Amino acid sequence: LGYSNSASPSGTALTIQQLEAVSRYTNKILLCFDNDEAGLKATERVLEIKNQVSNQLEIHCLNLPEKYKDISELYEEDEDIFSSVLKDNHEIIEFLIDKFIESTSDKKSIFNYFMKITSNLSPLEVDVSLDLLSSKLNTAKDILKKELKFQTSDEKEDVTEQSISSISIFKDLIIAEMISNKFSPNEEIDQLIDLNSEFKKLVDDIKNENSKKEDYLNISYTKEQHLEAVSRLYLHFANLKIDELIQEFEESEDKNFQLLQEVEDIKKKKEIYQNTI
């Protein structure tokens, strides 16, 4: 099209490897996928993976007029307006919200969509995005923040007897494996233990008291069951830790942004474990 610093992904979606490659050259990216449902899904996917690459990326999306299937069609049919169309772009979250609002005016549906597309963003990014949503819905930001907390707590893992029992089984299985290996150093298990002070205390107590080890000697399991237990317990502890860090950040007078970086690091690790189960 006569423009330098441009690239096309192979297929509709942009992969995390491609985004990493582009981010080596710039932190400002303008997207323009096909003007259809698949293109919209591809845009949502970029927002999902953005912070796995860098939370410094500035991603905007081109507002392609509805009558054009893609940017090539626009260029071929009306080259004269191409430059002006390039200037008509919005930050990726605003772009996605605007597209969704085109299909409905129901505030509840719009808010639920907002929760979906911002689920992988940092707390600070979500807070900034709430300003935008407040303006779009003509609803006070404080109300939206309360709704966000309400919805998040409502969607958390149900603490039923069954879920508590599952977590307990995962703990027992992991401790049994640690005893079998004589508590030899294991970076993965150490990271898991450090996420939860209560579990860390339990492990330390068992290390120091031989009588407690006997409770775990007859636990049988396969390698696959152990790997699943590690993944699921990490996800459980990670969710608790993220909530703890966010609450600590919100309640602190002098905002410690290192806490938000810890949240981002845990989220990245979570995604790795989510892909294993």
Contact yes or no for 110/100 (Cβ under 8 A): yes
In the chain, the percentage of residues whose pLDDT exceeds 90 is 39
In the chain, where the domains are located? 16-155, 161-274
In the chain, the percentage of residues whose pLDDT exceeds 70 is 93
- Residues 19 and 13: their CA atoms lie apart, in Å, by 11
What value does the mean pLDDT take over residues 250-277? 85
Q: Letter for the amino acid at 212?
A: K
pLDDT of residue 218: 84
DSSP 58-113: EEEEE---TT-SSHHHHHHH-GGGHHHHHH-EEEHHHHHHHHHHTT---HHHHHHH
Q: Which of 165, 114, 153, 162 is nearest to 137 (CA)?
A: 114
CB atoms within 10 A of CB 23: 16
pLDDT of residue 91: 94
Rg, C-alpha atoms of the chain: 23
**54 backbone dihedrals φ, ψ, rounded to 5°:** -170, 135
Determine if residue 244 is left, alpha or beta; phi over 0 gives left, psi from -120 to 50 gives alpha, anything else beta: alpha
Instruction: Indicate the range of 53-62, 127-136, 159-168, 211-220 predicted with least confidence.
Output: 159-168
- Residues 33 and 211: their CA atoms lie apart, in Å, by 62
Q: 33-85: per-residue pLDDT in tens?
A: 888 888 898 899 898 888 878 778 899 999 888 888 888 888 887 777 877 88
Instruction: Indicate the range of 31-40, 72-81, 193-202, 265-274 predicted with least confidence.
Output: 72-81
- Residues 195 and 240: their CA atoms lie apart, in Å, by 9
Residue 187's pLDDT band, with cuts at 50, 70 and 90, is very high
Residue 120's pLDDT band, with cuts at 50, 70 and 90, is confident
Highest mean pLDDT among 5-14, 30-39, 169-178: 169-178
Q: Could you give the angle at the alpha carbon of 47 between the alpha carbons of 39 and 188, nearest 5°?
A: 130
- Residues 95 and 60: their CA atoms lie apart, in Å, by 8
Distant-in-sequence contacts of 108-115, Cβ < 8 A, 24+ apart? 110/136, 110/137, 111/137, 111/144, 111/147, 111/151, 112/151, 115/148, 115/151, 115/152
DSSP 157-210: PP--HHHHHHHHHHHHHHHHHHHHTTT---HHHHHHHHT-HHHHHHHHHHHH-H
